[in-house]
């Protein structure tokens, strides 16, 4: 296959981006990528350390003559979200990401692209290849497991770069904006025990697919449908017309992605097949009407994998009632809008994963809020619902909000550069998503932090794609910003 970046690779930026895409680096599997980064630092004769959880910190001495300038942290994360389109076979532990150029946009071939945060890591590394780069002392800080709870940033020793005054985080997805604050979040996992009995019947697989999904923070304000909730609502509606038992049920991939698909395997009496078919057909129209533009690709489908009745272990009636109760009553989506900033979400919840095993239904939630108290109250609401249904909720893990600073010399400097480079104003924003910046700000309260990144669309889905011109502009912006701090 020809290399879509062939003509771009002479540029340091694309050389690094391609090198990162070639090394599998899903969450918990970043060792090979950090090995490559450590080797690159060694080649550059730079001090680089990897800590016990895999975070990498490269220390870059200031350009001679600029030793007095305040040190700057450039920060991104090593791990990527690994999602493949249904039907696409991709082993994220072994297979490289195949880059596909469509017009000005870079896609992967049926998987997440990993520009979140390969773009950020590539920008930081590429600077070290620039012969004319003039800079203050730099710390390049690359963390692990950002996408699964920021484990790396939690374990990081912040004192090793406590002399830094500024930090540019490279994990944003919207060119021309500068993120200066973010919501805090809580990851929560609940378990509902189930009992099973043997039953005989015709197996029917009800599937929900084709939803737009998206990032549970950035895109929760689109009010899209959640495939797990659609499946639960469909099952509750079907139960009025058809007697069924649930064999198993699953939907969603991770807590920070809005589920795009879900399915349930049911057992029915063979005589109910036609009624079930008709009911699902009617429901498909109902859900399409509810879905609106964002989720117009939604499909509710029914499949009968075997012609004859089979024996299977199914949820007993009490378990089934509790499972459907939990799935249909659990809140999800936007819970409260910001009362002072029009259009901004204040508090939200994503039911990201639901799956039955032999003995339990497990549910994974990500709850976000600008207010830690509002977030904790919502966690309590979910916990009480699960309690009432006989389940348990594990100790939640939370990260703090990153409050916007009243004055930011870094933002002022960067705004002036962006204006000079593009003729446009840089838009500061506070996002409804978790950024590691919150942990840096928490550990080093005087650190002046701004987060930037190129236009990267549909992150955390197999349709993730990044604009190449935007990537180049953002890189030039970053280089000029760091030079201005020298």
Active site residues: 79, 146
- From the list 171, 233, 320, 448, which residue makes contact with Zn ion (rule: CB under 5 A)? 171
CB of 468 to Zn ion, least distance (A): 19
| CB of 261 or CB of 451, closer to Zn ion | 451
CB of 239 to Zn ion, least distance (A): 40
Helix (H) or strand (E) holding 99: strand 99-102
CA 436 – CA 143 distance, rounded (Å): 9
CB of 76 to Zn ion, least distance (A): 8
Distances 254 to 102, 340, 364, 370 between C-alpha atoms, Å: 28, 31, 8, 22
Q: Does 151 bind Zn ion (CB under 5 A)?
A: no
CA 417 – CA 366 distance, rounded (Å): 36
Instruction: Quote the tokens at residue 477.
Output: 């912006």
Q: Supply the angle between the helices 468-484 and 12-22 in degrees, to the nearest 10.
A: 120
CA 109 – CA 84 distance, rounded (Å): 9
Name the residue among 346, 203, 382, 357 with its Cα closest to residue 276. 203
CB of 206 to Zn ion, least distance (A): 34
Which region, judged by CB under 5 A, interacts with Zn ion, from 169-177, 300-308, 375-383, 392-400? 169-177
Q: Does 116 bind Zn ion (CB under 5 A)?
A: yes
Q: How many residues bind Zn ion (CB under 5 A)?
A: 3
CB of 442 to Zn ion, least distance (A): 18
| CB of 171 or CB of 255, closer to Zn ion | 171
Which region, judged by CB under 5 A, interacts with Zn ion, from 90-98, 111-119, 158-166, 289-297? 111-119
Subset of 207-236 contacting Zn ion (CB under 5 A): none
Name the residue among 459, 354, 441, 365 with its Cα closest to residue 403. 441
Q: Does 145 bind Zn ion (CB under 5 A)?
A: no
Instruction: Quote the tokens at residue 234.
Output: 């469909």
Which region, judged by CB under 5 A, interacts with Zn ion, from 53-61, 168-176, 209-217, 337-345? 168-176
Chain-centre distance for alpha carbon 170:
15
CA 348 – CA 255 distance, rounded (Å): 12
Which region, judged by CB under 5 A, interacts with Zn ion, from 112-120, 153-161, 319-327, 371-379? 112-120
| CB of 180 or CB of 246, closer to Zn ion | 180
CA 122 – CA 115 distance, rounded (Å): 9
CA 284 – CA 298 distance, rounded (Å): 8
| CB of 302 or CB of 449, closer to Zn ion | 449
- From the list 117, 174, 248, 483, which residue makes contact with Zn ion (rule: CB under 5 A)? 117
| CB of 382 or CB of 449, closer to Zn ion | 449
Q: Strand 184-193 and strand 456-457: pairing?
A: unpaired
**Residues making contact with Zn ion (CB under 5 A):** 116-117, 171
């Amino acid at each position: 296959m020809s290399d879509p970046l062939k003509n771009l690779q002479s540029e340091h930026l694309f050389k690094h981006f391609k090198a990162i895409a070639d090394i599998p680096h899903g969450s918990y599997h970043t060792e090979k990528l950090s090995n490559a980064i450590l080797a690159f630092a060694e080649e550059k004769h730079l001090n680089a350390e990897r800590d016990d959880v895999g975070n990498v910190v490269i220390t870059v001495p200031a350009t001679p003559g600029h030793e007095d300038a305040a040190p700057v942290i450039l920060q991104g994360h090593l791990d990527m979200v690994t999602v493949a389109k249904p039907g696409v076979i991709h082993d994220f532990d072994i297979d490289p990401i195949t880059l596909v150029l469509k017009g000005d946009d870079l896609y992967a071939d049926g998987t997440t692209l990993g520009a979140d945060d390969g773009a950020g890591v590539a920008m930081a590394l590429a600077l070290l290849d620039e012969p004319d780069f003039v800079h203050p002392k730099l710390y390049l800080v690359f963390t692990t497991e950002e996408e699964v709870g920021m484990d790396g940033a939690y374990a990081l020793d912040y004192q090793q770069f406590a002399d830094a005054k500024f930090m540019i985080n490279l994990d944003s997805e919207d060119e021309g904006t500068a993120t200066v604050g973010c919501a805090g979040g809580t990851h929560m996992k609940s378990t509902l025990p189930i009992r099973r009995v043997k039953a005989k019947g015709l197996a029917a697989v009800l599937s929900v697919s084709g939803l737009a999904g998206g990032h549970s923070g950035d895109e929760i304000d689109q009010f899209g449908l959640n495939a797990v909730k659609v499946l639960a609502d469909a099952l509750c509606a079907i139960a009025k017309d058809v007697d069924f038992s649930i064999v198993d049920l699953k939907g969603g991939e991770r807590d920070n992605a809005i589920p795009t698909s879900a399915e349930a395997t049911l057992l029915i009496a063979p005589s109910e097949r036609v009624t079930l078919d008709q009911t699902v057909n009617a429901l498909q129209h109902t859900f399409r009407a509810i879905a609106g533009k964002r989720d117009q690709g939604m499909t509710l489908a029914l499949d009968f994998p075997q012609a004859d009745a089979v024996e299977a272990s199914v949820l007993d009636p009490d378990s089934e009632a509790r499972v459907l109760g939990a799935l249909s009553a659990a809140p999800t989506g936007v819970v409260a809008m910001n009362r002072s900033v029009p259009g901004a979400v204040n508090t939200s919840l994503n039911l990201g994963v639901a799956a039955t095993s032999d003995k339990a239904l497990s549910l994974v939630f990500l709850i976000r809020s600008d207010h830690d108290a509002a977030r904790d109250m919502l966690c309590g609401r979910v916990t009480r619902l699960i309690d009432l249904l006989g389940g348990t909720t594990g100790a939640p893990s939370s990260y703090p909000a990153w409050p916007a600073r009243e004055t930011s010399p870094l933002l002022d400097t960067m705004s002036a550069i962006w204006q000079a480079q593009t003729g446009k104003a840089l838009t500061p924003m506070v996002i409804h998503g978790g950024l590691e910046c919150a942990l840096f700000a928490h550990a080093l309260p005087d650190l002046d932090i701004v987060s930037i990144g190129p236009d990267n669309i549909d992150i955390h889905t197999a349709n993730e794609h990044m604009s190449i011109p935007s990537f180049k502009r953002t890189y030039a912006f970053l280089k000029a910003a760091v030079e201005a701090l020298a």
